[in-house]
Amino acid sequence: MHIVDRRLNPGSKSLENRQRFLRRAKALVQGAVKKSSQDRDIKDVLEGGEVSIPLDGMNEPRFRREGGTRDMVLPGNKKFIEGDILPRSGQGSGRASDPGEGDGEDAFRFVLSRDEFVDLFLDDLELPDLAKRKLAEAESEGLRRAGYATTGSPANISVSRTVRLALARRVALRRPRPETIAELEAELADCDEARRIELMAEIAALKAKLRRIPFIDPIDIRYRRFETMPKPVAQAVMFCLMDVSGSMSEHMKDLAKRFYMLLYVFLTRRYRHVEIVFIRHTDRAEEVDEDTFFHGPASGGTLVSSALQAMHEIVRSRFRPADWNIYAAQASDGDNSGSDGAAVSRLLTEMILPVSQFFAYLEVGETGGSTFDMPDSSLWTLYQRLRAEGVPLSMRKVSDRSEIFPVFHDLFHRRRKQEKAP
Amino acid sequence: MTATAGCLFEGADWDFTKLQRIHDACEEIARSELGLDTYPNQIEVITAEQMLDAYSSAGMPLFYKHWSFGKHFAHHEAFYRKGIMGLAYEIVINSSPCISYLMEENTATMQTLVIAHAAFGHNHFFKNNYLFRQWTDAEGILDYLDFAKSYVAQCEERHGRLAVEQTLDAAHALMSHGIDRYPGKKKLDLRAEEKRAGERRQHEESAFNDLWRTVPTGPAKSAELLSSERRRNLLGLPQENLLYFLEKTAPRLQLWQRELLRIVRHIAQYFYPQSQTKVMNEGTATYVHYRIMTRLHEQGRLSDGNFLEFLSSHTNVVFQPDFDDPRFSGFNPYALGFAMMQDIERIVSSPDDEDRQWFPDIAGTGDVMAVLRNVWANYRDESFISQFLSPRLIRHLRLFHLHDDPEQRAGIRVDAIHDERGYRRVRRELARQYDVGYIDPNIEVVDVDLAGNRRLMLRHAVVKGAQLNEVDAKRVLQHLADLWSYDVSLVEVDAADNVLKEYVLNPRALAAAA
């Protein structure tokens, strides 16, 4: 008899099968998620957890029989005698029917991990292609140890490795140890004549060998080798700019919040570390915490340039563009004081956009107001003009909760090389 | 037998030396007292996650990759995490050496129970039951699965994952109809055929009688009928093993696809005996563990506390709820099997008059184990129940037979109960519930239109008015048509040859066909 302890075997033997299953179910899960994201809280959707998908394409059909006359033998007869007729819908016959295996299984439920879920959820989205923009080098170079080399700069000599190799060589070539020679010489001091000549010859031979085999040979020397490798900037900062002037209703803020949330989830998937900066503005801008951002009361006029100015200053003081990927999303109802246009366009084109990976403008409107009916606001008109001049800006209008995901999806949809970002 | 070996273990903890000791103690009893004959044992300790893995691949330690196993895994996992489903204490594989998986969470008592149950009870059954001997190759199965796994992986590499997946999907759909139910007739080779023809000629010469010439031979068969008979003979029709038929005759399958069908067919065949011997298999194992555990306790090698722990889980295992109990979900094979084994023990050792009348062959013969070993070797569930379900057990379980005819508006009729008139009928009906001939739909390939559009014709012989579920039947037939690559038709025919329903499906373009 053998006893085998399998507990330490690598787990997840079914992982491959599970992945195959998910790959097959992908279209279904994504479809289900997108549908439900239209009227559910985005946060809940992204939490993953249990999903239920229709069994279409996932079923494993078999020939099954149903109907017809059935005979069954059951245990536990209490009071029936031969010839009794039991009503079909009663207690007696209800139990008797087979536990249905067929029709109950039209939806299949299982648990997805959050990662699996978000992967599926954001699968066909990607960050906009940055190659053609000014900040093409989103990556910096780093050095990495890459073993040892026989050539290199003296500063990089690896002493331990060199000495180890030298020792191995000395042992292999049987280089006499100085102690051996010293011992022989001590013996030489007090011994007879015949032995003396013998010893002298031996010592001479050893000394010659000692000279022939160097302690450290150039072939022993090893240098630490370094390799340059591109180091991606693994952190990103996300600026949330929002107009909180009186004209922004709770509904509009809710829309903006949902958009920011999606952007955050999306960025955390790409970058190891994501910071968020909330800037709210009326006619002046301030950096606030999240709660104040969404719920703090504020009133005043509207000066968009103040927010852009604030963002610019924060970037300059805290987020060096070389070390940070900078994303910005601005939400507003589109009102802006007429005289501010020039300042906005100057700040955007000269300060903000050159250092940003992506700048999105989301114009939020009231529910019911179809996006097509919204008259172009002053900010929208301004941004549209900038875009026409070739400034890389993304902009969308949203007036209903259900449009958030489609708009988001649209902005980050994976594109062919030629297609231009919206 | 010396009864003073001392306790095998104390408390609930176990380690590997204790497992060894437990196994040796069980083996001693199994060999010398029960006379069991088993494959060598291999005991593997696994974790809950590994148990879930094993669940999703039909309990086998290795299997080819397919999405459906991932689906089952996700399903089991969701249930397990929610606490709806517990995990089995063990899984045992019909292989040589016989592999038993034990869960690491089990207490020492449970490990003893499980070793006695799986490593000796199931193991003996696998090695000795005629179905397993006839249809499975315990020595070869692990090697075969290994081959299957690497072959499928190779195919995926060479022909693309999609093509392989489609073929396997189709094969899985037909898996329950990829089984040989009877050992086939051996085809004669040329020499044997010649010899037989010679013998026949010789016999005719020696028994020549001119009178035979005058005997009328009936109407001559038409040429059409002759050619159809010849065609069906050549194709080996009718054929109920659909996968075998496709593997051998589907016109446009690639060689590797035929090999995949063969793999699925072989695996289905390997599991075929298990579905026919659930009651007996579990009954045997439960009876064996009960005997071994009781004996260990008698010998003082199992403390009273541990024995009580065993009894508690044993009674849970053999619990049979009544039909009107909310927990009822059909017969518990452990309960029925164990009750019948114990009943046989009683009949053999201390029968009453009724038993002598019903079971004259075994009543009072005295040697319980000899009778049981014979039963375990030579029966399957259906024949076991129809032979050995005693009136006393029918009374004890208070079995009754319901006949549900949808035509009968009034309701369901109680056809027989546990009385003198009903014993045989109840027993026959219960045996029938375990008869694969009644459980699986009887579907055969009956003909192929070779001269015309190569349509493959199948026939479902409807029993008791139970027709195929239409949605599923269409899906399976679609898979069948894809493999056959021409039209496929299925007719459902009742006993009087009336056609009840007809399906026709056209093949889809398969990725593999390219």
Q: Which DSSP string corresponds to A344-401?
A: HHHIIIIIIHHH-SEEEEEEE--TTS-TTTSPP-HHHHHHHHHHHTT---EEEEE-SG
Pairing of strands B456-461, B488-493: parallel
pLDDT value at residue A34: 61
Q: Which residues of A touch B43 (CB under 8 A)?
A: 1-4
Identify the residue among B323, B483, B505 best suited for mutation to test binding to A, counting A beta carbons within 10 A and taking the highest: B323
Residue with tokens 């026939």: B459
Strand partners, A204: none
Separation in Å, CA of B261 to nearest CA in chain A: 16
Separation in Å, CA of B136 to nearest CA in chain A: 22
What confidence tens digit (pLDDT) does each residue in B218-252 have? 777 777 777 888 888 888 788 889 999 999 888 88
Nearest CB partner across the interface for B324, out of A20, A76, A110: A76
pLDDT value at residue A418: 41
pLDDT value at residue A125: 65
Question: How wide is the angle at C-alpha A253 spanned by C-alphas A251 and A257, nearest 5°?
Answer: 115
Angstrom distance (rounded) from CA B251 to CA B485: 8
**Which ranges of B350-380 would DSSP assign to H, the alpha helix?**
353-358, 368-378
What confidence tens digit (pLDDT) does each residue in B267-315 have? 999 988 988 899 999 999 999 999 999 999 999 889 999 999 999 999 9
Backbone angles phi, psi at B70, to 5 degrees: -65, -35
For A71, the closest chain B residue by CA position comes to B403
- Amino acid sitting at position B81: R
For A83, the closest chain B residue by CA position comes to B414
Q: Of B496 and A31, which is predicted with more confidence?
A: B496
Separation in Å, CA of A413 to nearest CA in chain B: 26
Q: Which residues of A touch B68 (CB under 8 A)?
A: 21, 60
What confidence tens digit (pLDDT) does each residue in B171-224 have? 999 998 888 887 766 666 788 888 888 898 888 888 888 887 788 777 777 777
Q: Are the beta carbons of B320 and A18 separated by less than 8 Å?
A: no
Is A29:A51 a contact under the CB 8 Å cutoff?
Answer: yes
Q: Which residues of A touch B77 (CB under 8 A)?
A: 110-111
Angstrom distance (rounded) from CA A378 to CA A392: 19
pLDDT value at residue B411: 82
Mean residue pLDDT of chain B comes to: 87
- Averaged pLDDT for residues A188-217: 87
Banded pLDDT at B328 (limits 50, 70, 90): confident
Residue B158 burial (CB count, 10 A): 10
Angle between helices B381-388 and B278-298 (to 10 degrees): 70
Identify the residue among A5, A52, A65 best suited for mutation to test binding to B, counting B beta carbons within 10 A and taking the highest: A65
Whether the pLDDT of residue B463 is over 90: the answer is no
Of B441, B475, B445, nearest to B457 by C-alpha is: B445
- Averaged pLDDT for residues A241-266: 79
pLDDT value at residue B426: 92
Q: Are the beta carbons of A65 and B328 separated by less than 8 Å?
A: no
Residue B58 burial (CB count, 10 A): 15
Banded pLDDT at B23 (limits 50, 70, 90): very high
Is A74:B399 a contact under the CB 8 Å cutoff?
Answer: yes
Identify the residue among B72, B91, B320, B412 best suited for mutation to test binding to A, counting A beta carbons within 10 A and taking the highest: B412
pLDDT value at residue A100: 36
pLDDT value at residue B153: 92
Whether the pLDDT of residue A247 is over 90: the answer is no
Of B307, B275, B243, nearest to B433 by C-alpha is: B275
Q: Which residues of A touch B108 (CB under 8 A)?
A: none
| N-term to C-term CA, chain B | 70
What confidence tens digit (pLDDT) does each residue in B59-97 have? 787 888 888 888 888 878 877 777 767 777 788 888 888
Whether the pLDDT of residue A52 is over 70: the answer is no
Identify the residue among A17, A79, A108 best suited for mutation to test binding to B, counting B beta carbons within 10 A and taking the highest: A17
Q: Are the beta carbons of A76 and B75 separated by less than 8 Å?
A: no
Q: Which residues of B touch A92 (CB under 8 A)?
A: 324, 412
Q: Of B151 and A193, which is predicted with more confidence?
A: B151
Q: Are the beta carbons of B472 and A62 separated by less than 8 Å?
A: yes
pLDDT value at residue B149: 92
Of A230, A311, A321, A237, nearest to A272 by C-alpha is: A237
Q: Are the beta carbons of A61 and B475 separated by less than 8 Å?
A: yes
Q: Of B72 and B149, which is predicted with more confidence?
A: B149
Separation in Å, CA of B441 to nearest CA in chain A: 7
Q: Of A300 and B124, which is predicted with more confidence?
A: B124
Q: Which residues of B touch A120 (CB under 8 A)?
A: none
Angstrom distance (rounded) from CA B442 to CA B458: 10
Whether the pLDDT of residue A135 is over 80: the answer is no
Mean residue pLDDT of chain A comes to: 76
Whether the pLDDT of residue A113 is over 80: the answer is no
Q: Are the beta carbons of B77 and A88 separated by less than 8 Å?
A: no
Q: How many CB pairs under 8 A join A and B?
A: 262
- Averaged pLDDT for residues A18-46: 65
pLDDT value at residue B458: 92
Question: A233-412 has which CATH code?
Answer: 3.40.50.410
For B103, the closest chain A residue by CA position comes to A7
Is B480:B175 a contact under the CB 8 Å cutoff?
Answer: no
Separation in Å, CA of A269 to nearest CA in chain B: 24
Banded pLDDT at A132 (limits 50, 70, 90): very low
Separation in Å, CA of B367 to nearest CA in chain A: 29
- For residue B53 the two structure tokens come to 């893995």
Whether the pLDDT of residue B3 is over 50: the answer is no
What share of chain A in percent tops pLDDT 90? Answer: 6
Q: Are the beta carbons of A62 and B175 separated by less than 8 Å?
A: yes
The domain segmentation of chain A, as residue ranges, is: 16-55+109-123, 148-224, 233-412
Identify the residue among A14, A80, A93 best suited for mutation to test binding to B, counting B beta carbons within 10 A and taking the highest: A14
Quick one: B470 exposed, middle or buried, by C-beta within 10 A (0-12, 13-18, 19+)? exposed
Angstrom distance (rounded) from CA A222 to CA A216: 11
Angstrom distance (rounded) from CA A225 to CA A228: 10
Angstrom distance (rounded) from CA B375 to CA B380: 9
Strand partners, A144: A227
Q: Are the beta carbons of A71 and B418 separated by less than 8 Å?
A: no
What share of chain B in percent tops pLDDT 90? Answer: 40
- Please name each of the domains of chain B with its CATH number: 16-129+277-312 (no CATH), 318-437 (no CATH), 439-513 (3.40.1350)
Q: Of B13 and B511, which is predicted with more confidence?
A: B13
Separation in Å, CA of A47 to nearest CA in chain B: 16
Alpha-carbon radius of gyration of chain A: 38
Separation in Å, CA of B187 to nearest CA in chain A: 31
pLDDT value at residue A192: 81
Alpha carbon of residue A252 to chain centroid:
29
pLDDT value at residue B382: 92
pLDDT value at residue B70: 83
Q: Are the beta carbons of B73 and A73 separated by less than 8 Å?
A: no
**Which ranges of B299-434 would DSSP assign to H, the alpha helix?**
304-317, 333-349, 353-358, 368-378, 381-388, 391-397, 423-433
What share of chain B in percent tops pLDDT 70? Answer: 96
Whether the pLDDT of residue A85 is over 80: the answer is yes
What confidence tens digit (pLDDT) does each residue in A389-410 have? 777 778 888 887 777 777 777 7
Angle between helices B368-378 and B333-349 (to 10 degrees): 140
Q: Of A249 and B351, which is predicted with more confidence?
A: B351
Q: Which DSSP string corresponds to B20-62?
A: HHHHHHHHHHHHHTS----PPEEEEEE-HHHHHHHHHTTT-S-
Separation in Å, CA of B463 to nearest CA in chain A: 8
User: How many Cα atoms are found within 13 Å in the side-chain-facing hemisphere of A270?
Assistant: 22
- For residue B184 the two structure tokens come to 């086939």
Q: Dmax over Cα atoms in chain A, in whole Å?
A: 130
- For residue A327 the two structure tokens come to 């994303």
Q: Are the beta carbons of A4 and B43 separated by less than 8 Å?
A: yes
Is B427:B386 a contact under the CB 8 Å cutoff?
Answer: yes
- For residue B107 the two structure tokens come to 């207490």
Q: Which stretches does DSSP call E strand in B90-241?
A: 90-93, 98-103
Whether the pLDDT of residue A131 is over 60: the answer is no
Banded pLDDT at A54 (limits 50, 70, 90): low
- Averaged pLDDT for residues B148-155: 92
pLDDT value at residue A369: 54
pLDDT value at residue A127: 60
Banded pLDDT at A136 (limits 50, 70, 90): very low
- Amino acid sitting at position A2: H
Q: Which residues of A touch B402 (CB under 8 A)?
A: 71-74, 86, 93, 96
What share of chain A in percent tops pLDDT 70? Answer: 75
Q: What number of H helices and E strands is found in chain A?
A: 14, 14
Angstrom distance (rounded) from CA A265 to CA A121: 10
Whole-number Cα distances in Å, B336 to B280, B282, B347, B380, B388:
9, 9, 16, 14, 12
Banded pLDDT at B509 (limits 50, 70, 90): low
Angstrom distance (rounded) from CA B480 to CA B477: 5
Angstrom distance (rounded) from CA A258 to CA A404: 7
pLDDT value at residue B261: 93
B108 membership: H or E segment, kind and range: helix B108-114
What confidence tens digit (pLDDT) does each residue in A296-342 have? 777 777 788 888 888 888 888 888 877 777 888 888 887 777 778 88
Is A336:A359 a contact under the CB 8 Å cutoff?
Answer: no
Separation in Å, CA of A124 to nearest CA in chain B: 21
Q: Are the beta carbons of A3 and B44 separated by less than 8 Å?
A: yes
pLDDT value at residue A126: 62
Q: Which DSSP string corresponds to B119-153?
A: IIIIHHHHHH-HHHHHH--TTTHHHHHHHHHHHHH
What SS3 class is residue B173?
helix
Whether complex ipTM tops 0.90: no
What SS3 class is residue A292?
helix
pLDDT value at residue B510: 54
Q: Are the beta carbons of B397 and A99 separated by less than 8 Å?
A: no
